[in-house]
Amino acid sequence: MVNNNTLGLIFSENSEASLGELMKFRSLAAVPVGGRYRIIDFMLSNMVNSGIVNVGITAGFKNRSLTDHVGSGRAWDMARKENGLFILPPPETIDLNGRIMGGIDYLSGAMSYLNRSRQEYVMLSDCNTICNIDLERVMDFHFEKDADITVVYTEEPDISPRELGKHILFDVGDDGSVSDIQIYPRRQKSDAAYMHMFFIKKSLLIELIEDCMAHDEHVISKNILLANLGKLRIFAYKFEGYKKKIDTIDAFFEFNLELLEEKVRRELFGEDKKSIYTKVKDSVPTKYGRDAEVKNSFIADGCEIYGEVENCIVFRGVKIGKGAKVKNSVIMQKSQIMDNCTVENVIFDKEVILCSGKSLVGESTYPLVIGKRKVV
């Protein structure tokens, strides 16, 4: 089915996510994950798979790697004469006065895109919640409930106190209506955790954005959702599949290693799921040498593996030399680990070279991050 009447809007940045070294040269959306993907691939594919034919991606200032990755949108079948993919740069005239860009600031830069698009509804989403979600079900739910805004949540009992302060929780009634919203609570009163995705009529969204801009308000959760509680019909759709929010290096590391679990791979890439697309690189298959010892690893195309690899996520074009021992690590595109190196609990950004015989060891709870193109 083609949801011609809905456009997608993805935020490529999120002020609450900080991936340190990995975001030094790129936006959150463009951070490589899962062996061959970038964070944006999941949400963008979800939208395309749900029949959305017009998607805008709000870009921050560090957008080179994002624009390079999505290009014309062809890999997602979005290089279209009508509709397709749009990169929306941040508004030029914005005066932040020292504060950070909020969601509404990004939306203000998307106003002319919103106004010009023919679609009547908008699906908005952060980029950094990794999941394979059928958004058509969210839309169906929205119309069934005759809602003004439909937010998407997952059940998350027992959120750790450290994590709780980063969550937005809903009180959801039996009919799916939202009766309370707790932003960054201290105490967990509800298990319904917001997935930073909502569906809304475009005309209403524009009205709300203009209102916020006129009142110097910048935060979607507070100024659009919470402020309209009781005034608008806000409903919550429950997503039951696997999801992982990537907002810290730890979460990034955890997500990657979770891909070694069959259940997680099924949830994201299973045969009954729609495909997650990414930029095509025409890499050759991965070559395993005679002395390769590989256990429990997720390996993309174009690699050459001659050493030992265990519990690793290996991106396209990585080389691992003879006698090298690599464990519990995430190794991004075109990095090279030369002969006889020892590596444990390390995240290698792209094109890192680890010279022969070197040893790099992090902790499983605190992985070592080696920045892009570093030579060690």
Partner 1 sequence: MKSKECVAMILAGGQGSRLGILTKNIAKPAVPFGGKYKIIDFPLSNCAHSGITAVGVLTQYQPLELNTYIGNGQPWDLDRNDGGVYVLPPYVSAEKGEWYKGTANAIYQNIGFISGFDPKYVVILSGDHIYKMDYSKMIKAHKEAKAAATIAVIEVPWDEASRFGIMNTDENMNIVEFEEKPKKPKSNLASMGVYVFSWDILKKYLIADENDPKSDNDFGKNIIPAMLSDKNKMLAYRFDGYWKDVGTIQSLWEANMNLLSENPGYELDDPGWKIFSRNPAKPPHYIAPSSRVKNCYITEGCEIFGDIENSVIFQGVTIEEGAVVRDSVIFPDSYIGKNAIVNKAMIGTNAYIAENSEIGSTSDDANKDFVNTKICSDDITLIGPNVSIAEGIKVAGCSMVTRNIKKPNAEKAAGKKSVKGTATA
Contact 53, 84 (CB under 8 A): yes
Shortest CA distance to 62 belongs to which of 9, 117, 13? 13
CB of 307 to partner 1, least distance (A): 13
Distance CA 362, CA 253 (A): 12
SS (H, E, C) 116-143: HCCCCEEEEEECCEEECCCHHHHHHHHH
Q: Judged by CB under 8 A, does residue 272 bind partner 1?
A: no
Residue 83-122 contact track with partner 1, rule CB under 8 A, x = bound: ----------------------------------------
106 vs 315 by CB, closer to partner 1: 315
CB of 306 to partner 1, least distance (A): 10
Retrieve residue 232's tokens: 């608008």
Residue 349 half-sphere exposure, CB side, CA atoms within 13 Å? 19
251 vs 292 by CB, closer to partner 1: 292
CA-angle at 334, arms to 329 and 336, nearest 5°: 65
Q: Which of 18, 203, 275, 364 binds partner 1 (CB under 8 A)?
A: 275
200 vs 268 by CB, closer to partner 1: 268
227 vs 268 by CB, closer to partner 1: 268
Distance CA 217, CA 211 (A): 8
202 vs 244 by CB, closer to partner 1: 244
Beta strands in 12-136 (DSSP E): 32-33, 37-38, 54-58, 84-88, 121-126, 129-131
Q: Judged by CB under 8 A, does residue 34 bind partner 1?
A: yes
Distance CA 206, CA 92 (A): 19
74 vs 233 by CB, closer to partner 1: 74
Q: Report which residue type is found at 233.
A: R
Site for partner 1 in 284-313 (CB under 8 A): 284-302, 313
- Of the ranges 8-16, 86-94, 143-151, 269-277, which one interacts with partner 1 (CB under 8 A)? 269-277
Contact 356, 374 (CB under 8 A): no
Q: Judged by CB under 8 A, does residue 157 bind partner 1?
A: no
270 vs 357 by CB, closer to partner 1: 270
Number of residues binding to partner 1, judged by CB under 8 A = 37
CA-angle at 51, arms to 45 and 55, nearest 5°: 60
CB of 313 to partner 1, least distance (A): 8
CB of 158 to partner 1, least distance (A): 29
Q: In what order do the strands lie in the sheet with 330-331?
A: 313-314, 330-331, 346-348, 368-370
Contact 86, 71 (CB under 8 A): no
Residue 343-362 contact track with partner 1, rule CB under 8 A, x = bound: --------------------
Cβ burial, residue 84 (10 Å; 0-12/13-18/19+): middle
Residue 247-266 contact track with partner 1, rule CB under 8 A, x = bound: -------------x----x-
Q: Judged by CB under 8 A, does residue 81 bind partner 1?
A: no
Shortest CA distance to 267 belongs to which of 297, 240, 242? 242
77 vs 210 by CB, closer to partner 1: 77
Site for partner 1 in 185-214 (CB under 8 A): none
Distance CA 188, CA 160 (A): 9
CB of 241 to partner 1, least distance (A): 16
Residue 334: strand, helix, or coil: coil
Q: Judged by CB under 8 A, does residue 269 bind partner 1?
A: yes
Kindly give the pairing relationship between strand 37-38 and strand 32-33: antiparallel
58 vs 286 by CB, closer to partner 1: 286
CB of 145 to partner 1, least distance (A): 33
153 vs 277 by CB, closer to partner 1: 277
Q: Which of 278, 328, 342, 345 binds partner 1 (CB under 8 A)?
A: 278
Q: Which residues here bind partner 1, judged by CB under 8 A?
A: 34-36, 74, 260, 265, 268-269, 275-278, 280-302, 313-314
